[in-house]
Amino acid sequence: MSVSILGACGNKDNQGDKKQNIEQTTAKTNNNQNTQPNENQTAIYLVKLDKQKTDFSEDNATLPFGICSGQLTPVIINEKLSPQKALETLLNYPNDTSKGIYNAFSESQNIKIDKLLIKNNFAIVTLSGDIKAGEPCLGQLMHDQITKTLSQFDNIAGADVFVGDKEINTYLNEQEETIQATPARK
Q: Model confidence over 67-92: pLDDT tens digits?
A: 677 789 999 999 999 999 999 999 99
**Do the domain assignments include residue 153?**
yes
Q: Is the pLDDT of residue 43 over 80?
A: yes
168 CB burial (10 A radius; 0-12, 13-18, 19+): buried
**Do the domain assignments include residue 115?**
yes
**Do the domain assignments include residue 71?**
yes
> 109-119 and 158-163: which strand pairing?
unpaired
How many domains, the chain?
1
Residue 64 CB: number of other CB atoms within 10 A?
22
pLDDT at 66: 61
Among residues of the chain, what percentage have pLDDT more than 90?
46
Among residues of the chain, what percentage have pLDDT more than 70?
66
Kindly report the pTM of this predicted structure: 0.74
> 122-130 and 158-163: which strand pairing?
parallel
**Do the domain assignments include residue 98?**
yes
Q: Is the pLDDT of residue 151 over 90?
A: yes
**Do the domain assignments include residue 135?**
yes
Q: Is the pLDDT of residue 109 over 80?
A: yes
Containing structural domain, residue 64: 2-181
**Do the domain assignments include residue 64?**
yes
